[in-house]
Amino acid sequence: MASSDDIVTTSNGLGYTSSSAAHPETLVKPPAAPSASEDTIEIRIEFGGGLHLLFSSQPSHKIRIPRYEPGNADQLPQAVTMRYLVSWMKSNLLSEREEMFGDGDGVRPGILVLINDADWELEGELEYELKDRDEVVFISTLHGG
Amino acid sequence: MSCGEIPDGLANAEEAEAVMPRRRQIRRIDKSLCQRCKTAKSMYLIRNVTYCKACFQHNVFTRFMKTLHPPLKPSTTSDGGTNAKSKQTQGGLRPPKQIGSSLIGLSGGSSSLTMLDLLISKQYIGDDNDRIIDKTKGEKEPIWNKGFVIYVEFDHILNNQLHGSTTPGNQDESLLTSRLEEIENWVKEQNHNLTFIGLNAEDVFDPNLKKRIKALVGIQEGNEDTQSAEGISVDLKNPDLPLFPIPSSSTSTTTPLDQLRSLLASLPAPSRPSLLSSILTSLITITSQTIPNISHILLGETSTRQAQRLISGTASGKGYTLPLELAVSYKAENAITILKPMKEITTKETAIYSYLKGWNGFIRNERKWDNAGPKSKKDSRGKGDIKSLESLTELFIATLAVTHPSTVSTINRTGDKLMFTGEKGQEVSCPVCQLPVDPHALQWKSRTALTSLPTKTIADISSPDDEKNEKLATLLCYACLTTFTPPTVVAKALRSDTEPVQLPYWIGENVRRKVARVEMKEDIKDFLIGEE
């Protein structure tokens, strides 16, 4: 358990700085440890258009998530998708105001998502399967002038 | 087969075809190649067309050019003999050099930064050093010799809830001033000799505004700059909005920021964004008139923002002046031409362009005007900060655009068909928004809107003195009148003893100028030759 905790919390850029020290209850626990093989992938997340203010004011995050979707031990392993990443972010990175980022399964209208610099609409949106070292950028376009 | 007659047995198939399927499935585009160059991998999907990075940037610039060039070119042959070919090249050829300089509105959002970058990198704005352009080396003649950049800071009046404080002014001072400095530094980094003018929203209450602008630009101030410090205040209790002059001799210790806050506090939250919009416009107008030799004002309004303004403007009663506001080029009487070269470009494209340039962390797209002024319990009705018509419309359009990508262009195409019905040169302008007033709007409103109940003793409020005061309500356009007299304001003011609230100086000046003109006309009316 301790070692799997280390994998998640020692990554830099999670952004829990002084604000979380003042409010320890907001420090969200890392997700359940991935399966015994500890197969995780690194994802780089960037925010633009002022969206980082919802994520502890950190514009850049480097996170590790399991390579395969957890909870499918008896079936063929399913690679994690953007859908998983969005819900992971809502539970672990979002420091406030969930409705400003998420909308059901997906992201709020007005938020542009780029995966490795490409429009996510061309990559399958929520169904895109994440690979190691993928770079995902979320840009808020509302009120952009 | 005529419609309505479905042969038996085919009914189901026909019905299935007749009903349009709901499009909320993932759009898997098979064309993985850029649809323009057909060689590179497609990276972006704009209006159902795929582009690679290079073609995308080229496309943005082409559309920018096609919007910016026509208003700057002298009109073509008057005999209407412009054939298709010349129309095609009209967008491509560079317009002639303009006599004056340009004033660029920078909000710190993706669109205005993209516009400024295009203007500088494609040499539309020169760096004011009068050097000879060598066309053989690919250099281009700048259209404007010099550029001035104006940025207006609104942070001081916003409730910055993200920092855990709902009371303005409680935040760290260094946090509040940093955005203006950030923008100023960014402009300096462009190394293009652009003069930066950073103003605050509360400067509309500063009698020395023009002096300050001249000092920022480095111009000697003249005698006409000592603006009369005579202010003007309005009584919001009275639906006629009587005005009271505040003599310059009155000693007041309230700062411009406090005056703006008290004005915002006296209006309900849904009215505040339109007031802030008028403040922004007036600051840009005053600056353009104070700096000598400005020929054009360039604003970075995108097609997405345009669609939102069209719908929310119609809903708030601005229909009369919408065709002027939405035009690519608009020149008011005695004012400077306003250009909107980003009119055909969507916010999504400007966001991608800004990201490719690496400004991601720097851009702040949200205006947050819904958070201006004090928060009241009633304001929490709106979900997620949505309190005004403008932000509600914006969210509506953004949501619709997810399933219907041509939403914005459809709205704008419809809006482009609107024509201004007023007579040129005969327009009376509203003292607040400085756009023409529909002369019939107030007559219509007096017939349809309930402005007072006969049983309530409104007579108690108005006194004989009121007859002498100028009534703002008769001078305003319909939309601005709605901003200042929503029913909640009047009802609230009636309940409490509210003092007249001070208005910004530009409104007072416009009212005085109008009154002076009317009086002048009265004096000379006997000498005017009638229209025979």
pLDDT at B18: 63
Which residues in chain B are closer than 8 Å to A112, comparing Cβ atoms?
A: 348, 351-352
The more confident residue out of B275 and B516 is B275
Q: Which of A124-138, B16-30, B195-209 has the lowest mean pLDDT?
A: B16-30
Residue B36 has pLDDT above 50, yes or no: yes
Q: What is the dihedral of CA B388, B390, B395, B401, to 10 degrees?
A: 160
Residue B40 pLDDT level (bands cut at 50, 70, 90): confident
pLDDT at B371: 77
Helix axes B347-357, B303-315, angle to 10 degrees: 140
CA distance A13 to B358: 19
Distances (CA, A) of B512 to B206, B230, B464, B471, B515: 18, 11, 22, 12, 5
Q: A26 to chain B, minimum CA–CA distance in Å?
A: 14
Residue B11 has pLDDT above 70, yes or no: no
The more confident residue out of B169 and B387 is B387
Residue B452 pLDDT level (bands cut at 50, 70, 90): low
Mean pLDDT, chain B, whole residue set: 78
pLDDT at B74: 76
The more confident residue out of A70 and B308 is B308
pLDDT at B350: 92
pLDDT per position as a tens digit, B62-98: 999 999 998 888 765 444 444 444 444 444 578 888 8
pLDDT at A9: 44
Least CB-CB distance to A144: which of B109, B356, B395?
Answer: B109
CA distance B370 to A100: 15
| Residues paired with B33 in a beta bridge | B41
| Residues paired with B503 in a beta bridge | B232
Q: Which of A1-15, B177-191, B207-221, B282-296 has the lowest mean pLDDT?
A: A1-15
Record: contact A49-B42, CB cut-off 8 A: no
Mean pLDDT of B14-32: 61
Q: Which of A83-87, B224-228, B285-289, B456-460 has the lowest mean pLDDT?
A: B456-460
Farthest-apart Cα atoms in chain A, separation: 51
Mean pLDDT of B242-264: 79
Q: Among residues 129-148 of chain B, which lie with CB inside 8 Å of chain A?
A: none
* Segments of B24-91 assigned E as strands: 44-46, 49-51
CA distance A143 to B365: 6
Residue B339 pLDDT level (bands cut at 50, 70, 90): very high
Q: Which CATH superfamily, name and number, covers A18-140?
A: Beta-grasp domain (3.10.20.30)
Residue B349 pLDDT level (bands cut at 50, 70, 90): very high
pLDDT at B169: 45
Helix axes B389-403, B272-290, angle to 10 degrees: 100
- Return the amino acid letter for B389: L
- Tell which of A20, A81, A115, A122 to mutate to test the B interface (max B CBs under 10 Å): A122
The more confident residue out of B212 and B223 is B212
CA distance B22 to B119: 42
Mean pLDDT of B484-498: 62
For residue A129 the two structure tokens come to: 């399967």
Select from A55, A118, A20, A26 the least CA-distant residue to B352: A118
pLDDT at A6: 41
pLDDT per position as a tens digit, B91-119: 457 888 888 899 999 988 899 999 999 99
Residue B21 pLDDT level (bands cut at 50, 70, 90): low
The more confident residue out of B74 and B17 is B74
Residue B297 has pLDDT above 90, yes or no: yes
pLDDT at A2: 42
Low-confidence ranges of chain A (pLDDT < 50): 1-12, 17-20, 32-37, 144-145
Which residues in chain B are closer than 8 Å to A109, comparing Cβ atoms?
A: 395, 398-399, 401-402
Which residues in chain A are closer than 8 Å to B393, comparing Cβ atoms?
A: none
Inform me whether the C-beta atom of residue A94 falls under 8 Å from chain B C-beta atoms: no
Select from B176, B177, B208, B201 the least CA-distant residue to B260: B201
**Best-predicted range by mean pLDDT among B34-38, B108-112, B178-182?**
B108-112
Mean pLDDT of B200-228: 80
The predicted complex's ipTM stands at 0.77
pLDDT at B78: 45
Which residues in chain A are closer than 8 Å to B401, comparing Cβ atoms?
A: 109
Residue B298 has pLDDT above 60, yes or no: yes
Q: Which of B240-249, B291-300, B379-388 has the lowest mean pLDDT?
A: B379-388
Q: Among residues 376-435 of chain B, which lie with CB inside 8 Å of chain A?
A: 383-385, 391, 394-395, 398-399, 401-402
pLDDT at B384: 54
| Residues paired with B153 in a beta bridge | B200
pLDDT per position as a tens digit, B454-482: 554 444 444 444 455 677 888 888 888 88
Least CB-CB distance to B351: which of A52, A112, A117?
Answer: A112
Least CB-CB distance to B398: which of A110, A118, A139?
Answer: A110
DSSP SS3 for B65 = helix
Residue B266 pLDDT level (bands cut at 50, 70, 90): confident
- Tell which of B41, B112, B365 to mutate to test the A interface (max A CBs under 10 Å): B365
Residue B129 has pLDDT above 60, yes or no: yes
CA distance A90 to B420: 48
Task: Tell which phi-psi region holds residue B241, choosing left (phi > 0), alpha (psi between -120 and 50) or beta.
Answer: left
Do the bridges between strand B337-339 and strand B329-330 make them parallel or antiparallel, or are there none, so unpaired? antiparallel
